Amino acid sequence: MITKIVLLKSLLLNKFPSGSAINYHNGKLYLIGDDANNLLVLNTDYQEIDSIKLFDYSEKRIPKAEKADFETAVLININDKTHLLILGSASGKEREKGMLIPLADDILPEPQTFSNTVFIKRVKMKGITEMNVEGATCIGDHLILSNRGNNANRENHLIITEKNFWTRQNEVTFSILPVIIPFSTKEFPGISELCYVASKDILLFTMSSEATDNAYDDGVIGDSYIGWVNGISRKLAGPAIRLDGLINLSEVNTDFKGEKIEGVCVESASGNELILHLIADNDQGESRLFNVRLEMDAEGYSPSPK
């Protein structure tokens, strides 16, 4: 289990709005904002080194009714090349889309855009009527998506499908598992991102509470959390996913108060420590980055007991 979380540094990005996803690859951090025009590339000291235009709106923030609402991004391997898969929340028709960007070492090429409307329709028919996809990660050959609940719909789900689901939307297989949170919290925490640590077989969750009763509107920001499931690869066929632990970040450090943690990635995993980067959205057109160290006991790095 996670025994300690230490905040190493943080930085406010006042020119990059609505941070929603962060990924680490070859020494670079790739940042997505749900109403940002550009993908931002930083080094691990949080200095800007590149960017790529995703949209061409004149305003700093894309209007709410028009934005694709890119809430999550995940690294996937296609033809032995690493790509960044970016997905919209699917909380409206204009948000049922994604982008695929090959991550070359020299330049960032033009993104490929696709619609996933057919897949989202099938997911709704199987029981999730209110879509709000906010997390994504890969576990083996599976792509895991998280659908965020809210105060009126107090249940989070994982959608387990194939990495190339958008290429075979009519026939791709998928399953839906509810996420059980066996811990007491002041408010309902919705999943905001997923991150799989393959070397430890642990699935990390970022979660946050927000005073809203639907998947479209923002609300007053509450607390943010890091949760985890040990031995996750053996649990994907079960009837539900049950969290093994949950830590309130506001109780770790007051710098997390008022920050809605939206994304997480792992820079390194060594011994009993994980070095993570988090991105937060304050709903004011800014983003904040957090660099944290997670310390875990031996049990947290071992497969869960059968």
pLDDT of residue 216: 54
Strand partners, 198: none
pLDDT of residue 212: 72
- Tens-digit pLDDT profile for residues 151-177: 888 999 999 999 999 999 999 999 999
pLDDT of residue 24: 98
Q: Which of 231, 221, 300, 229 is nearest to 260 (CA)?
A: 221
Domains of the chain (ranges, CATH numbers): 2-301 (2.115.10)
Query: What is the signed CA dihedral for 85, 91, 92, 97, rounded to 10 degrees?
Result: 10
Strand partners, 162: 142
Residue 281 predicted with pLDDT over 60: yes
Binned at pLDDT 50, 70 and 90, residue 108 comes out as low
Q: What percent of the chain has pLDDT over 70?
A: 93
- Tens-digit pLDDT profile for residues 201-224: 999 999 999 777 665 556 678 899
Q: Could you give the CA distance from residue 272 to residue 268 in angstroms, rounded to a whole number? A: 11
Question: Which of 97-111, 209-223, 274-288 has the highest average model confidence (pLDDT)?
Answer: 274-288
Binned at pLDDT 50, 70 and 90, residue 104 comes out as confident
Average pLDDT over residues 42-57: 95
pLDDT of residue 218: 62
Q: Could you give the CA distance from residue 88 to residue 280 in angstroms, rounded to a whole number? A: 17
Q: Which of 125, 104, 91 is nearest to 30 (CA)?
A: 104
- Tens-digit pLDDT profile for residues 17-43: 999 999 999 999 999 999 999 999 999
pTM of the model: 0.93
pLDDT of residue 282: 86
3-state SS, residue 232: helix
pLDDT of residue 96: 98
pLDDT of residue 91: 96
Binned at pLDDT 50, 70 and 90, residue 303 comes out as very low
Token pair for residue 29?
Answer: 């951090």
Give the other-Cβ count within 10 Å of 129's Cβ: 9
Report the DSSP pairing between strands 142-147 and 202-210: unpaired
pLDDT of residue 69: 97
pLDDT of residue 111: 86
How does DSSP assign 104-167, residue by residue? -SS---PPEEEE-HHHHHHHHHTT--S--EEEEEEETTEEEEEE---SSS--EEEEEEETTGGG
pLDDT of residue 306: 29
User: Across all residues in the chain, what is the average pLDDT?
Assistant: 92
Q: For the chain, give percent helix, strand, coil, nearest 5.
A: 10, 50, 40
Residue 146 predicted with pLDDT over 90: yes
pLDDT of residue 304: 34
Angstrom distances, CA of residue 165 to CA of 12, 17, 47, 143, 187: 35, 29, 34, 8, 33
Exposed e or buried b for every residue in 278-301, given b needs 16+ CB within 10 A? Answer: bbbbbeebbbbbbbbebebeeebb
